[in-house]
Structure 1
């Protein structure tokens, strides 16, 4: 793979399929060395084989569960030993936080329907909501905290957090909560944690009121709003890094039950563009696909 000091190393989470796998493929095409990670070892190794069969050489697999600190520590040790640094971290791993009634899904026409039409048959449970926040938000946070020391050894460190169109402030009905999340200069990790705890408490007690929180896809939407807010906190703390979040578009993947409109190739373009931004590029921003957008 060449000298680790001259290589650019990217780590992509949740990368055995969908957008994550395609981000790996596009980064490899640009000459980046990629560490493809996945929870399931067999699927992860199969994904690497697929990329190598397509001509990619500089790709390795390492198991990763972003909900497990020990798994993150093992990956960090591997990258430290193998490459001595990290240049690009793409936080893509995520879950929907809901289940669907099996009967409803079997009669669902993916080509004609939009994800919103599944709302009446979505099952939202506290355990699933907790898991969604733990993976989508705290998983992203754990990865950033673990790998920032290795990113600081890079000449051009980049963090790309995958958010969603649902990661904008407009999905939060409460003006008070919106105001706090909007105040990027004063928002802290601790305050964000408190807001998340309030959400989970309300969810547990069936008190997700429509004038406070999103009522459908609640945990998913709120997890992505939290990721967007955290991106701004992180960018403020680490001014020498380029840290952004991106809505990849409404992509045909498992997480949208294949109801999307864009291909994975199109969905990966925004994250890859941000991973390869030139030095001095924007930081602490929200991108809608490949276009600079707003957090509102």
Structure 2
């Protein structure tokens, strides 16, 4: 295992025990990066590291992390500081889908293959909508995880990122995070204006969204229809990425849409493999020095936030 005097790059991947996160860990480790794989569940995290070790990837360690728990984030920061003294790459991948199944169906890969066969992407999303519901509690959890969790981890690890010569942050976004899903033109313009937008204003907007959601008025107030909390959280994460990138030009801070990947977060309704989605995330994490910052990548290239 690499030590504090080692010159290899150090990466943290949140939600690294399965799906896209596990694949990002594998691809970064394969590129010679020392990876700290994090997950809420210690058993699953340790098993994920064992799996990667079995592939001959020895520079992967597990550290328990709940991105919604401040003390858990602090423990991670302390580990990184004492063991490595720096952080080169942070991949904010951990996420929550913002809805719950209607009833108690089993969304196993086998079942989904049978039900989704022949459906295009739009039909698969509609299948998810019909089989799920959003509640106020799931909306709160969605924002706390997908937006505030990523933000708090980034801020806690900022000094370590600044201690490396080429610190970079990769926020895993989604096609659902595009501003086209927001009905209000005023909201779109505000979220698409990183020069004037502030983190305090983002807090106000998210509080307003939750208030409108609770009142059953989200769509009429211009917030997205269907999977609204997830869309708002990812759009806000993209906006935060751009604001943070402007504030810290010494870092490379970008978003990446991995595509519609077959993972637990979408009940295995996606059509890309975790390997395909993970490769898009890893590619942004491994961009050449002095590359783009404050950008969104989709399909392997820079894309519009709208």
TM-score (norm 1): 0.97
Q: Does 1:4 align with 2:4?
A: yes
SS in 1 for 2:36: strand
Q: Does 1:55 align with 2:56?
A: yes
The match for 2:35 is 34
Q: Does 1:220 align with 2:220?
A: no
The match for 2:97 is 96
Name the CA distance, whole Å, in 2 between partners of 1:131 and 1:214. Answer: 17
The match for 2:45 is 44
SS in 2 for 1:145: helix
Q: CA deviation at 1:110?
A: 3.3
The match for 2:274 is 264
The match for 1:110 is 116
Name the CA distance, whole Å, in 2 between partners of 1:10 and 1:3. Answer: 13
Give CA-to-partner distance per residue, 1:150-178, whole Å, 9 cap, x none.
00000111100000001111011100111
Name the CA distance, whole Å, in 1 between partners of 2:280 and 2:172. Answer: 10
Name the CA distance, whole Å, in 2 between partners of 1:89 and 1:103. Answer: 35
Q: CA deviation at 1:103?
A: 5.8
Equivalent of 1:146 in 141, 156, 161: 156
SS in 1 for 2:29: helix
Give CA-to-partner distance per residue, 1:205-240, whole Å, 9 cap, x none.
111124511121011111100111000001000001
Do the aligned partners of residues 293 and 202 (structure 1) sit closer, same or farther apart at CA in structure 2, a change above 3 Å counting? same
For structure 1, the residue ranges without an aligned partner over 5 or more in a row are none
- Contact kept? 1:246, 1:270, Cα under 8 Å: yes
Q: CA deviation at 1:105?
A: 5.9
More deviation in 132-141 or 96-105?
96-105
- Contact kept? 1:111, 1:259, Cα under 8 Å: no
Equivalent of 1:208 in 218, 222, 229: 218
SS in 2 for 1:246: strand
- Contact kept? 1:133, 1:219, Cα under 8 Å: yes
Within a 5 Å distance, the mapping from 1:128-277 to structure 2 comes to: 128-210=138-220, 212-277=222-287
TM-score (norm 2): 0.94
Name the CA distance, whole Å, in 1 between partners of 2:294 and 2:82. Answer: 30
Name the CA distance, whole Å, in 2 between partners of 1:150 and 1:93. Answer: 20
Name the CA distance, whole Å, in 2 between partners of 1:166 and 1:245. Answer: 13
The match for 2:71 is 70
Give CA-to-partner distance per residue, 1:81-137, whole Å, 9 cap, x none.
111110000000001010111366668613344122221332111011000000000
Name the CA distance, whole Å, in 1 between partners of 2:102 and 2:118. Answer: 19
- Contact kept? 1:110, 1:258, Cα under 8 Å: no
Q: CA deviation at 1:3?
A: 4.3
SS in 2 for 1:244: strand
SS in 1 for 2:169: strand
- Contact kept? 2:29, 2:59, Cα under 8 Å: yes
Name the CA distance, whole Å, in 2 between partners of 1:50 and 1:104. Answer: 29
More deviation in 4-13 or 209-218?
209-218
SS in 2 for 1:215: coil
Q: Say what the alpha-carbon RMSD is for the aligned residues.
A: 1.4
SS in 2 for 1:102: coil
For structure 2, the residue ranges without an aligned partner over 5 or more in a row are none
